[in-house]
Amino acid sequence: MNQQTLPDREFMYQALLNRDSQLEGIFYFGVKTTGIFCRPGCSARNPKKENVDYFASVQKALESGYRPCKICSPLDKPGQAPGWLKKLLDEVHANPENSFKDEDLRARHIEPTRLRRWFQKHHDITFHAYIKALRINRAFEKMKNHGDVTSTAFDSGYESLSGFHAAFKSVAGISPSQAKARPLVTITKLVTPLGPMYAGASERGLCFLEFTDRKMIDYQIEQMQTRMKARFVQATTPVLSEVESQLEEYFDGKRQEFDLPLDISGTPFQIRAWQALQKIPYGETRSYQQQADQTGNSKAVRAIASANAKNHIAIVIPCHRVIAKNGGLAGFGGGVWRKKYLLDLEASH
């Protein structure tokens, strides 16, 4: 990110005053009087506005002579699982049916309180709630394929059918016997250079990818649950792991096309609009008028803008490549400054 794509200085100063961790990775700030640079969510004492420099990357801050803060550790990738946690997460994802009691965690040299705090901060749920969601997610998939509730319950690590039924209903919102008739969407939080994103995948493919600070994000998720008649469960799946991997390649400039299964739901016109978006080549832009022409309705410019605003799979369905007829960036759900970043990124590669 270059300096031109940073958010407004007043916006960034308010973010650091509010210790807004949602903006970590989007900018860093250096304090002239101490020579130290931090993340926006740093808990250190707030500096005066005139003593603050802003940087788009850790590299820029270091090149300007600032030292990393020992409190917020800006050299670590924001939101990424720390070294002490990675091995445990690999184990949990491989075998969520296993038990992970406090004594089991301590045997792995992990303090349970520290673990709970990390999960609450980065996933908004406890570690054990995360494991339960993983178990139910796997169980949901097994019952979709085989329909055997009893064997699924015991294979998922539950010692009784009643315990399995209670856990399943608390997570999925339906009983195990209803699983075949209702889709499940697994949602997780991903780390990107532009801030965290929610990614959601059904059994058909990626259906949701949005920045977590987008306006009315909770309402959007509720709308999708209603439209898809699905239940959103926080966990992860192989599809979501692939989404994370391909996004990382995209931001590193190593990927120009996404190869992901998509589960797109909308009106026929919205779907045509989103299909037109997917045909815009990497590094190029189109006007709303050109996109309307491509859908076969050249007078539907306003409807095109509305459809783009309702695209729930950001970046992969590239609505950021549509600009105003006069060349202006116009609107973007994640913020115009993010749109500029994405266009600059693609233009540079």
Catalytic residues: 319
96 CA to centre of own chain: 22
Is beta strand 184-190 parallel, antiparallel or unpaired with respect to 197-201?
antiparallel
How far apart are the C-alpha atoms of 214 and 218, rounded to whole Å? 9
Nearest to 217 by CA among 242, 238, 200: 200
The values of phi and psi at residue 332, to 5°, are -160, 130
Q: Please give the structure tokens belonging to residue 348.
A: 């540079």
Nearest to 150 by CA among 237, 142, 233: 142
How far apart are the C-alpha atoms of 40 and 42, rounded to whole Å? 6
Angle ∠(151,154,160) on CA atoms, nearest 5: 115
The values of phi and psi at residue 24, to 5°, are -65, 135
* In contact, 222 and 277? CB cutoff 8 Å: no
Q: Is 4 exposed, middle or buried (0-12, 13-18, 19+ CB in 10 A)?
A: exposed
Q: Please give the structure tokens belonging to residue 57.
A: 């990357």
Q: Where are the alpha helices (DSSP H) in the chain?
A: 9-17, 58-63, 83-94, 102-107, 112-123, 127-145, 149-155, 161-172, 217-228, 238-251, 268-278, 288-295, 301-309, 336-348
**Bridge partners for 187 per DSSP:** 200, 234
